Structure 1
C-alpha cells in the first residue's frame, strides 16, 4: 500500500485555529486512525525557534529563526497509508474542506505527497 505525507501550509503568524476546527480535526483524525489510514502526525509551532542547516557549495551554515522572509510555513504534517492514490486524494480534499469550513478567513494549503520507498516512480 502506498504511504503519503500530508502537509498543511499557511501564512506565518495567523494565530491559533478556532476551537471548532480542533474539534472537527479530532473527529476526522479519530476516524482515519480507526480505519488504519492515519499513522502519525501533528501540528508544528511557528518558525520563531526553528533551526535550518543550509548546505551550499560544500559548506554548511546554521540559520536560526524567525525568518522575516517566510511567507508560508508548514503548520502540520501526517503520515497516511492508503490502498490507492484515488482514496488518498479524496481524503485530502475532505481534510481541506474542514479547514475551509471552520477557518475560512485563513488561506490553508493542504498538500499530499507520496512517500518514496526507492527509485521507482510514484504509483508503482
Structure 2
C-alpha cells in the first residue's frame, strides 16, 4: 500500500488556530487512523530552536534559528497510507478544506508527496 507524507506550510507567528479547527482535526484524524490511513503525525514547534546543517561546496555549516528571512515554515506533518494516489489526493484536499472552513483567516499550503519505497539509484559518473 503506497505511503505518503503530508506537510503543512504557513507563515510563522500568526497565532494559535481556533479551537473549532482542533476539534475538527481530532475527529478527522481519528477517522483516518481507524481506517488505517493516518499512521503518525503532529505539529512542529517554531523555528526559534531549529537547527539547519547547510552543505555547500563540500563544507558543512550549522545555522541556528530563528530565520528572519523565512516566509513560510513547515508547521506540521503526517505519515499516511492509501490504496491509490487518487484516494490520497482526495483526503489531502479534505484536510485542507478543514482549514479553509474552521480557520479562514490563515494562508497555508497542504502538500502531499508519495514516499519512495526503494532507495534512490546512485548517480553514474
TM over 0.5, shorter chain: yes
* Runs of at least 5 residues in structure 2 that lack an aligned partner in the other structure: none
Matched residue SS, 1:4:
strand
Q: Give TM-score, length-normalised by structure 2.
A: 0.94
Question: Shift in Å at residue 108 of structure 1?
Answer: 1.2
Secondary structure of the residue aligned to 1:97 is helix
Query: Is it true that 1:21 corresponds to 2:28 in the alignment?
Result: no
Gaps of 5+ in 1: none
State which drifts further: 86-95 or 111-120: 111-120
Look up the SS of the partner of 1:9 in the other structure: strand
Give the aligned CA root-mean-square deviation in angstroms.
1.0
Q: Which SS does the other structure have where 1:62 is aligned?
A: strand
User: 1:4-45: per-residue Cα shift (whole Å, max 9, x none)?
Assistant: 000000011111111000000000000000000000000001
CA distance in 2, matches of 1:117, 1:58: 28
Counting only pairs closer than 5 Å after superposition, residues 1-124 of structure 1 correspond to structure 2 as 1-118=1-118, 119=120
Q: How many residue pairs align between the two structures?
A: 120
TM-score (norm 1): 0.94
